[in-house]
Amino acid sequence: MTYLISLFFLLSNLCATDQPKLTLHIQNIESGKGKIIIGVFNTDKDFLKDGVAVKNYTVDVNSANETFVITDLPKGVYAISLYHDENSDNKFNRNFLGIPKEGYGFSNNVKPRFSAPSFEDCKFSLTTDLEMKIKVIN
């Protein structure tokens, strides 16, 4: 019997993961076309710069609300930015003044005023399974 209990705990530890599940509920998507591009950052250094995200994901848009589950992030501190690539050109389109022409959003539902938000504003701790709502700003 002791052998079975020891085997159970050994198998439980082998199956345990240091990668909690992060479920994103993306809301307020303006149109049901294009895709949502998600960037996950783990440092304030060059936050929001192209090519700096530790992970990138793409979600096809079919409705005003989409759910996406991330299962490959280790425990840690992260910040998320996303945009609705409505025309599927793989670019975050802006007008000549730099004002976004496509919807965007950040973890903690940060709404920037006159400049991009900081990592500190958007950061969250991922230590256990987590569900997060991000409302797209259109």
What is the residue-wise DSSP string for 11-56? HHHHH--S---EEEEEE--SSSSSEEEEEEE--STTTT-TT--SEE
pTM of the entire predicted model: 0.86
Is the CA virtual torsion 80, 86, 92, 95 positive or negative? negative
CA distance 119 to 6: 44
pLDDT band at 89 (very low <50, low <70, confident <90, very high): very high
| Domain ranges, ordered by start, for the chain | 18-135
CA end-to-end distance (rounded Å), the chain: 61
Question: Does residue 123 have a pLDDT over 80?
Answer: yes
CATH topology of domain 18-135: Immunoglobulin-like (2.60.40)
pLDDT band at 10 (very low <50, low <70, confident <90, very high): very low
Strand, coil or helix: 80 = strand
CA distance 5 to 29: 50
Residue 76: count of CB within 10 angstroms of its CB: 13
User: Is the separation of the CB atoms in 9 and 118 below 8 Å?
Assistant: no
